């Protein structure tokens, strides 16, 4: 089973990415370093709903 999750920039709050997470990770809040177009640099992105 997959669940859809959004990733939002922790700096500006923009939702830049979506992920399909496996059920294995369902209890975890994902944090990934990704490029944010709004900030113009790599920032930490956290899972949103």
- Considering the rule CB under 5 A, would residue 44 count as an interface residue with Zn ion? no
Residue count, binding to Zn ion (CB under 5 A): 6
Q: Alpha-carbon dihedral of residues 6, 12, 40, 34, nearest 10 degrees?
A: -30
- Considering the rule CB under 5 A, would residue 38 count as an interface residue with Zn ion? yes
Cβ atoms 17, 30 nearer than 8 A: no
- Cβ-based nearer residue to Zn ion, 5 or 9: 9
Measured CA to CA, the distance from residue 30 to residue 48 in angstroms comes to 9
- Considering the rule CB under 5 A, would residue 7 count as an interface residue with Zn ion? no
Residues that bind Zn ion (CB under 5 A): 9, 11-12, 36, 38-39
């Amino acid at each position: 089973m997959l669940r859809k999750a959004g990733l939002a920039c922790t700096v500006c709050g923009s939702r830049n990415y979506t992920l399909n997470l496996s059920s294995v990770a369902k209890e975890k809040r994902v944090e990934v370093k990704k490029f944010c177009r709004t900030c113009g640099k790599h920032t930490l992105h956290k899972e949103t709903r």
